[in-house]
Structure 1
Amino acid sequence: MTDYADLARQLAPAIAASAPGRDAERLLPFDVFDRIRASGLGAARVQKELGGGDVSQSVVAKIFITLGKADPNVAQGLFPHFMNIEQLRLMASPEMQARYLAKIGEGQLSSGAVAERGGGFRGEIHTHVSQAEGRKMLQGSKFYSTGCLFADFIKVQAVDEEGGALYVMLPRNADGLVLKDDWDGMGQRVTASGTSEFHDIVLSDEQIIPIHHWSGRRSYVGAAAQLIHCAIDVGIGLAVLEDAIYWAKNHTRPLRESGVSKASEDPYILYAIGEMSTRVRGAEALVRRAAEHVELACLAQLEDSRQGCFATEETERLLVRSSITTAEAKIASTDAALYVSQRMYDVGGAATTQKRFNYDRHWRNARTHTTHDSVAYKYKAIGNYLLNDAPPPITFTY
């Protein structure tokens, strides 16, 4: 039986070794994704009967902590693939699951194009499927298409002519599909999060998955997505901690007034390292706790779906609890990643700011990745739940 967490650990050293150079030169990690594809890691959450491992959400968290520590760009680039699996398992028909999840079980990687610019609110979708002369065609564009350049096929979120939500599945080489490497963020520079365009792409029925019946309904998928984001941020924090410890042991010089002969005995260096470790390890513990709650909600809702319902009353309770625990983990992991990535310079001093070490990538990656969701609203949701027994909003961010 494949140990998928161990697969990630085996891949990590080579990914980590080349991460600083990829960031500095802005080199997209096509070779890394080829190795991930060949390893079979992408099948971790696919059902066993379709060629996967059907691992728990706790294992998923371990995988993304490991990859996030090695290179959060790679981890984020793989994130849409794992979310596609969850969405297909929960929302697609058995026939569609067999069609697309089996591809992943065979080793293919997927990605997703969801977020668009414009509109009055985040999350509005204008990419659409229209019918003309008996043909269905996809038209529109996405501003964020993370990981699509690395994928074998992609999932596009769109709407039909009545505004009903759809997933559209496209092969990477579909006629009319344009993927651009135009993401220029200060951090997460090589996630391939650029623009995608859909120019009158002709579709078959087998490429369209209606999901309008899920609109306004709570699912575990949002919490599962947040769990991965949390794990990536913990991974960044662990990488910073490792670099800070290495630097303190090998390069930091003590101040004359410290009264010690080496930095590893300086009380303020010890304090800084201890504080950094506590923040990151505390966040990691909350992520592992959240993973257990997401797993309970996941198992319950997948069983409900097999029985023909969206969620029983007990499953709703589990879904709410999983959203709250992941919100707590998201706050902690955000704070930890941002704090330690700037605190490191108190350990290493001016020498660690040299461009050749590229330690600033940690902060740039953390700051960029943690902008995905507002933690202010997560504080509010947690407080409202604890004080008023109010469930969090039904969105992809809970």
Structure 2
Amino acid sequence: MSETDRKLHREAALVAGRPAPHIPPRQTKADRIADDAEAIAVAKALAREFAAGAAERDRERRLPIAEIERFSQSGLWAITIPKEYGGAGVSGATLAEVTAIIAAADSSLGQIPQNHFYMVEALRLAGTEEQKKHYFARILDGDRLGNAFTEIGTKTPVDYKTAFRNVDGELLLNGQKFYATGSLFAHILVVVAKDETGRVHIVFIDRATPGVSLVDDWSSFGQRTTGSGTVTFDNVAITPFQTVDHDVVFERPTAMGPFAQIIHAAVQVGNARGALNEAVTYVRTYSRPFFELTIEHGYEDPHTIHAVGEVSIRVNAAEALLARAGRLLDIATESPDDRTVAAASIAVAEAKAYGTEVAQLAANKLIELGGARSTLESYGLDRFWRNAKTHALHDPVRWKYHHIGNYYLNGLLPPRHGAL
């Protein structure tokens, strides 16, 4: 690693790197979810549990290890596995709603499985039959995939130095990843790496493999408990069976891009929903009337009523855009071609762009309507704004507007990649 790279990592790790938590091999098999309706019902039940400790986990930057175990053992992490392999094969709309339900309770928990689902879809599109049977079975039993995707110190976020090479007849992988969301909680790390020809692959590596090092050094002011820290690979031995060509899923029309992005859109919509719900609860419970008014309760303030009405309309609109995006994603998944994939990509981009704006609006209104008392650290209400702002930086909304405008104004199809 160059000195520049080392400096970038030091600057990123404002919190001293803590050892990764111990994640033992899975002891019990996860529940099996049968269909879309059950997935929604299970997500709602879990969200009620997860919401209770969300503010405390955020305040203490406490990794949600127990919550993640409950989450994956519920069967929700296997809902996109096709029915022919034993999964529920839920729709894209259902996956988005499940994510939004969890994110409304805790947006960090909503984001953590995003790359898990992404890699499941990559397997479905590009894995061999033997790879699908092997890894789908492990996921159905409850094993979690973790992301080792993006690096820092490269020209762009999709430039990769991490690579595997044939050394004396053995494939060895070397590199370092940052923003490795989910890896701290994973049983299997999925690494984006180049082969000797420069093609990008995803590589499935068991957590306990020699040469793998995880550090809990994520120090962002938002999404604090996603565990999006550093993973290092030092001469990690792999086999061809562990590698899946990743470039191939974007060389032909597939729904890979909008599939990846609809989960991010759902995190923002869920965060907006959570902030609005919190605002209603807080105002009903604590808000006092402005002294110029003669009303008894803060929730009778006409300006407050107007503001809640405005935010409610916008949250409902964001939810409708997300549901529409899910329907178009399902069409593109079933019948992928240039037209259907582009329509899905644009619809998902619309949901992500608008959902991002609404999440920040709802988070701002939560504090504005709550008044000075709502800023107390004990309530942790600022987490909605911090989380929405941090998650929005995953991929810039300004570029979504650019591609949306080009699509409608100039008939230009959006590019095929994982960020649109």
For Structure 1 versus Structure 2, the TM-score category normalised by the shorter chain is over 0.9
Query: How far apart, CA to CA, are the structure 1 residues paired with 2:415 and 2:328?
Result: 18
Does structure 1 residue 51 correspond to structure 2 residue 73? no
Residue of structure 1 in register with 2:309 after alignment: 274
Residue of structure 1 in register with 2:343 after alignment: 321
Equivalent of 2:358 in 311, 333, 336 = 336
Residue of structure 2 in register with 1:80 after alignment: 115
Residue of structure 2 in register with 1:308 after alignment: none
Equivalent of 2:319 in 261, 267, 284 = 284
**Cα gap change, 1:331/1:211 in structure 2, threshold over 3 Å: closer, same or farther?**
closer
Residue of structure 2 in register with 1:357 after alignment: 379
Residue of structure 2 in register with 1:109 after alignment: 144
Residue of structure 1 in register with 2:405 after alignment: 383
Does structure 1 residue 366 correspond to structure 2 residue 388? yes
How many Å apart are 1:143 and its aligned residue?
1.0
How many Å apart are 1:215 and its aligned residue?
5.0
How many Å apart are 1:225 and its aligned residue?
1.4
How many Å apart are 1:194 and its aligned residue?
0.3
Letter in 1 for 2:73: A
DSSP 3-state at the match of 2:259: helix
Identity across matched positions, percent? 36
Letter in 2 for 1:333: G
Runs (4+) of structure 1 exceeding 6 A deviation are none
Residue of structure 2 in register with 1:248 after alignment: 283
Task: Pick which of 250-259 and 230-239 moved more.
Answer: 250-259
Q: Deviations over 1:54-113 (max 9, x none)?
A: 010011011001110111111111111111111111111222111211211222111221
Letter in 1 for 2:394: H
Q: Deviations over 1:120-161 (max 9, x none)?
A: 222111100111111000100101110111111121110011
TM-score, normalised relative to structure 1? 0.94
RMSD: 1.2
Does structure 1 residue 231 correspond to structure 2 residue 266? yes
Task: Pick which of 41-50 and 265-274 moved more.
Answer: 41-50
Letter in 1 for 2:152: R
Q: Deviations over 1:137-193 (max 9, x none)?
A: 010010111011111112111001110111110011111111110010000001010
Query: How far apart, CA to CA, are the structure 2 residues paired with 1:346 and 1:284?
Result: 23
Q: Deviations over 1:227-273 (max 9, x none)?
A: 11111111111111111111211211111222322222211010111
DSSP 3-state at the match of 2:196: coil
DSSP 3-state at the match of 2:371: helix
How many Å apart are 1:348 and its aligned residue?
0.9
2:125–2:249 CA contact under 8 A, matched in 1: no
**Cα gap change, 1:172/1:40 in structure 2, threshold over 3 Å: closer, same or farther?**
same
How many Å apart are 1:352 and its aligned residue?
0.2
**Cα gap change, 1:143/1:190 in structure 2, threshold over 3 Å: closer, same or farther?**
same
How many Å apart are 1:214 and its aligned residue?
3.8
Query: How far apart, CA to CA, are the structure 1 residues paired with 2:399 and 2:237?
Result: 40
Residue of structure 1 in register with 2:212 after alignment: 177
Letter in 1 for 2:292: E
Letter in 1 for 2:319: E
**Cα gap change, 1:212/1:376 in structure 2, threshold over 3 Å: closer, same or farther?**
closer
2:61–2:224 CA contact under 8 A, matched in 1: yes
How many Å apart are 1:221 and its aligned residue?
1.3
Query: How far apart, CA to CA, are the structure 2 residues paired with 1:351 and 1:257?
Result: 19
Select the structure that is richer in helix: 1
**Count of paired positions:** 385
Query: How far apart, CA to CA, are the structure 1 residues paired with 2:348 and 2:250?
Result: 21
Equivalent of 2:52 in 7, 11, 17 = 17
Residue of structure 1 in register with 2:166 after alignment: 131
